[in-house]
Amino acid sequence: MLQQFGLGLAVAILLDAVVIRCLIVPAVMQLLGRRAWWLPRPLRRLLPKAELQRHP
């Protein structure tokens, strides 16, 4: 029974590492486009605003 549990855990980790993280997440990010990088309003108030300066 312990060997079956170990095999099941190994398959689950492999499935998560290959299918979910390498295939599904990038595909969903591509489909969402700019909406994937949405920042919630409360966090927007807490984070400092970065401003770019041009050098003359």
- Confirm whether 8 is domain-assigned: yes
- Per-residue model confidence as pLDDT tens for the chain (56 residues): 999 999 999 999 999 998 888 889 999 999 999 888 888 888 888 888 777 777 76
Measure the CA–CA gap between 39 and 43, rounded to whole angstroms: 7
Measure the CA–CA gap between 56 and 53, rounded to whole angstroms: 9
Q: Is 12 helix (H, G, I), strand (E, B) or coil?
A: helix
- Confirm whether 46 is domain-assigned: no
- Confirm whether 53 is domain-assigned: no
Indicate the number of domains in the chain.
1
Percentages (nearest 5) of helix, strand, coil residues in the chain: 75, 0, 25
Identify whether the C-beta of residue 4 lies closer than 8 Å to the C-beta of residue 11.
no
Does this model's pTM top 0.75? My answer is no
- Confirm whether 55 is domain-assigned: no
Two tokens, residue 39: 């920042």
DSSP state of 48: P
Domain that holds residue 16: 2-35
